[in-house]
């Protein structure tokens, strides 16, 4: 029987690869044998050299740029989008600055994934197969691991979860599966910079997750082993909340 978790021969695009989760995901996919293409706002060239992957700069909010990258890559079996944006603001008294912050969260966390999905779908539809994996957040379910979570972030990830289900239903009959990974608090520079009052003793596992603990589930969803899984948001949060 063929090992459906083996990614050899699979052409996979990982976006947000310059981040901790994206970098870990790229490394996992490479370890499983995938032919990798990686992108971020600043081209992750060092990671590209490490993994022998083509690295590119990409602003996912610019549809023309997304379309150009996908056209340049050509055949893509799976897209894993790990890009995301989180900046804390004063949502009550933030004034015009917070309005801009809200728009930025929506642009990167909602419009960006839509641009990517719209770009890769035509070729997947033509072949009758493909896998798309987007990155949500536990914040979409319970508004965050602390009361200090930025509401624009929670709202944008809630929209992303809805899009996963929407896309999945739209293309299910065409042999394409669309799923998401929904992380809890993962120990990344972004989490550290947020400076929020995390209480690890209140967490079921008493610890933060590691980027690799998101990468492996994402790689599964990008594999042919997930052929009958679609519209799912896979909770990877150490038991902090459940579907």
Q: Could you tell me the CATH number of the domain that includes residue 30?
A: 3.40.50.720
Structural domain contains residue 57: yes
Residue 105 near residue 151, CB atoms below 8 Å: no
Q: What is the pLDDT of residue 209?
A: 86
Structural domain contains residue 117: no
What is the value of pTM for the model shown? 0.93
φ and ψ at 157, to 5 degrees? Answer: -75, -30
Structural domain contains residue 110: no
Element holding 204 (H helix, E strand): none
**Residues 106-129 pLDDT 10s:** 999 999 999 999 999 999 999 999
Q: What is the pLDDT of residue 206?
A: 82
Structural domain contains residue 241: no
- Distance (Å, whole) CA 118 – CA 10: 20
Regions of the chain with pLDDT less than 50? none
- Active site (annotated) includes residue 153: yes
Structural domain contains residue 4: no
The one catalytic residue among 86, 153, 166, 203: 153
Residue 12 near residue 80, CB atoms below 8 Å: yes
Structural domain contains residue 33: yes
- Distance (Å, whole) CA 74 – CA 77: 10
- Distance (Å, whole) CA 132 – CA 108: 17
Structural domain contains residue 119: no
Q: Angle at the Cα of 33 (from 191 to 190), degrees rounded to 5? A: 5
Domain of residue 193: give its range.
Answer: 11-105+125-236
Q: What is the pLDDT of residue 148?
A: 66
Residue 235 near residue 241, CB atoms below 8 Å: yes
43 CB-near residues (< 8 Å, 6+ apart):
55, 56, 57
Structural domain contains residue 64: yes
Closest CA to 92 of 159, 165, 33, 148: 148
**Residues 55-100 pLDDT 10s:** 999 999 999 999 999 999 999 999 999 999 887 777 777 666 888 9
Q: What are the residues facing 44 on neighbouring strands?
A: none
Total domains, the chain: 1
């Amino acid at each position: 029987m063929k090992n459906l978790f083996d990614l050899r021969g699979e052409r996979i695009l990982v976006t947000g690869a310059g981040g901790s989760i994206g970098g870990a995901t790229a490394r996992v996919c490479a370890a499983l044998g995938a032919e990798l293409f990686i992108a971020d706002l600043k081209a992750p060239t060092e990671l590209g050299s490490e993994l022998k992957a083509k690295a590119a700069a990409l602003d996912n909010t610019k549809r023309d740029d997304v379309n150009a990258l996908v056209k340049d890559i050509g055949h893509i079996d799976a897209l894993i989008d790990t890009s995301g944006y989180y900046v804390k603001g004063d949502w009550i008294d933030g004034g015009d600055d917070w309005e801009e912050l809200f728009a930025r969260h929506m642009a990167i966390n909602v419009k960006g994934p839509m641009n990517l999905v719209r770009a890769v779908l035509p070729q997947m539809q033509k072949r009758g197969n493909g896998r798309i994996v987007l990155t949500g957040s536990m914040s979409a379910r319970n508004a965050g691991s602390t009361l200090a979570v930025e509401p624009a972030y929670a709202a944008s990830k809630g929209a992303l979860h809805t899009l996963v289900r929407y896309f999945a239903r739209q293309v299910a009959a065409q042999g394409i599966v669309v799923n998401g990974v929904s992380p809890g608090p993962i120990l990344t520079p972004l989490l550290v910079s947020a400076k929020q009052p995390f209480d690890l003793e209140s967490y079921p596992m008493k610890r933060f997750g590691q980027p690799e603990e998101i990468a492996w589930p994402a790689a599964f969803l990008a594999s042919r082993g997930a052929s009958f899984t679609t519209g799912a948001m896979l909770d990877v949060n150490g038991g902090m909340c459940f579907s």
